[in-house]
Amino acid sequence: MKHEHFNGSHLCRGDCRFGRFTEVKIDTALFKRCGRWIEFGYAVLLIAALTQGPVLSLWNRADQGSLGYQVDVAVFSTYFLVQLPAIALLGRRISLSKNMLGPIGILVLLLGWLLASTAWSTYRSQTVVQISALVATCCAGVYFGSSFKFRQQIAIVAAAMQIGLVASWWAVTRGWKGADTARVYWIATCKTSSYVTARDCQVHESGNWIGIYFNKNSLAPVAVVGMFTLLLLTWLVVSKRSGKWWPAIAFLLVDVLILNYAVFDRTDSATAFVAAFGGIGVWIFWSVLRYVARRTPEWSKIIRNAAFAGFSGMMGLGVWVLSHYETYIASQFGKRPGFDGRDIYWAAAWDAVKTRPWIGWGWMSAWFTGSFRDGLTDSLKDDYFSHNGYLDVLLGGGLVAGVLFVLWVLYSGERAIKTSLQAEAGQWTFSMAALVLIAASQESFFVGGNFLLLLLVAALSGPIFVREAPDGS
């Protein structure tokens, strides 16, 4: 009777009756490499799914960007299922109790407070669904930040963005319904004749690209993050210049970046574009600090102590410039003053914050509450978001949630300074965080099931777990 037994990295084969076995060594390293590549693929699909367009298209929901009072069970379940492996892997790899005293602990407190807001929520069913999604996405973000090195994170995000962009290009070029806002109308005074065809009487008006997403402002951030990460990869490839193929790789990255910009340009949306400039500025800022700290070791401690204060000051200056010169900045992108009409949403949300300043309305419940909606103008009757992530936090959890959010960001940033100055591609932490934090001033990106929230959590939690050797890039 033949018998096979796998034990660790060895496979035993032989005749059990006589106890004769042959030991066959299995290459466990190969299994680990295959598993790692599978995990890379999963991470790409995870982030691509959370750009939301692929999932909405899967369930034919792209025309239902504002779902109103109805929770789309199919869409919500898909978001949750795609994040489930990340949550399982996180639970297996990370001990929550060992990290409760750091930034992760403050994030847990913030999520716990928003979960507790279910008790006083003005629309409990909405809060239960949204807080579940928020917790799942934050867990997925910690998983992503703790499982991959910074350079790997940049490459994975860049690849994930291409899925939605290529699918959107396909949808537009194939004329899918709702893929763009182009329209054809008939010239009223035109009449067909032997010399004038029906085509001559039609005017084809090119519109904005939407692709597989629910509006142009949801496609634009995907293109912007795609361009941003491709630019960072190009920077890393050129600065390293390792291997004989690096010029070809850099050329390919630039080509794809240009294609990403072509898609972005067709959206006619500035959403997240200004934020990308902020992220690039932060990357350059930290690159300079890394260079100085590397060339003058005696200054490294001073730089480490002053870096975060300087970064925070730059962010504060950016907010001041944006608020005082908004009209000029908006005009440069062809947009109307008042942040292209978002000030109307913000005014309504801020009035609601002032009515419940300390504990809020319950997470993501205010815009679904009858007493809140009764005071909205007609132009806001079909909207269910503040178009500002910070107002969403204050609306959902009041001043308590706002303070916890600020503490989480600041403490995470302070803990990330050493890694950002020394690790390969350490600039990623603050540059990606800056991009999301700036973009969230224009849209509601701090919600569950959104890839930008995942990237923010990953960027701020990554330095806690990722251990990399010092690098000069």
pLDDT for 201 equals 57
Best CA proximity match to 458, nearest among 226, 156, 228: 156
If 0-12 CB within 10 Å is exposed, 13-18 middle and 19+ buried, where does residue 407 land?
middle
pLDDT for 172 equals 86
pLDDT tens per residue across span 335-372: 555 555 677 888 888 888 999 999 989 998 888 888 88
Which has more confidence, 109 or 314? Answer: 109
DSSP state of 14: E
Label the pairing between strands 2-7 and 10-15.
antiparallel
Q: Model confidence at 275, in pLDDT bands (50, 70, 90)? A: confident
Q: Which two tokens stand for residue 170?
A: 């396909």
User: Residue 199: is its pLDDT beyond 80?
Assistant: no
pLDDT for 202 equals 55
Q: What's the maximum distance between 2 C-alpha atoms anywhere in the chain?
A: 99
pLDDT tens per residue across span 90-107: 988 877 767 777 889 899
Q: What is the pTM of this model?
A: 0.84
Residue 412 carries which side chain, given as an amino acid letter?
S
What is the full DSSP assignment across 188-215? TT----SS--TGGGEEEE---B-TTSSS
Query: Phi and psi at residue 20, in whole multiples of 5°?
Result: -95, 120
User: Residue 13: is its pLDDT beyond 60?
Assistant: no
Domain ranges of the chain: 2-176+211-465
pLDDT for 469 equals 46
Q: Give the whole-angstrom CA distance, residue 196 versus residue 180.
A: 28
Report the sign of the C-alpha dihedral through residues 232, 225, 167, 204, in that order: negative
pLDDT tens per residue across span 422-444: 888 888 999 999 999 988 888 88
DSSP state of 245: T
Query: Phi and psi at residue 470, in whole multiples of 5°?
Result: -55, 150
Q: Give the whole-angstrom CA distance, residue 396 versus residue 388.
A: 12
User: What is the mean pLDDT of the segment spanning 188-193?
Assistant: 61
pLDDT for 6 equals 45
Q: Give the whole-angstrom CA distance, residue 289 versus residue 281.
A: 12
Q: Report the interhelical angle of 124-147 vs 28-50 (nearest 10°).
A: 140
Share of the chain above pLDDT 70, in %: 74
Q: Is 63 helix (H, G, I), strand (E, B) or coil?
A: coil
Count of beta carbons in the 10 Å neighbourhood of residue 315: 18
Give one word for 470, left, alpha or beta, with left for phi > 0 and alpha for psi -120 to 50.
Answer: beta
Highest mean pLDDT of the ranges 28-42, 91-105, 215-229, 408-422: 215-229
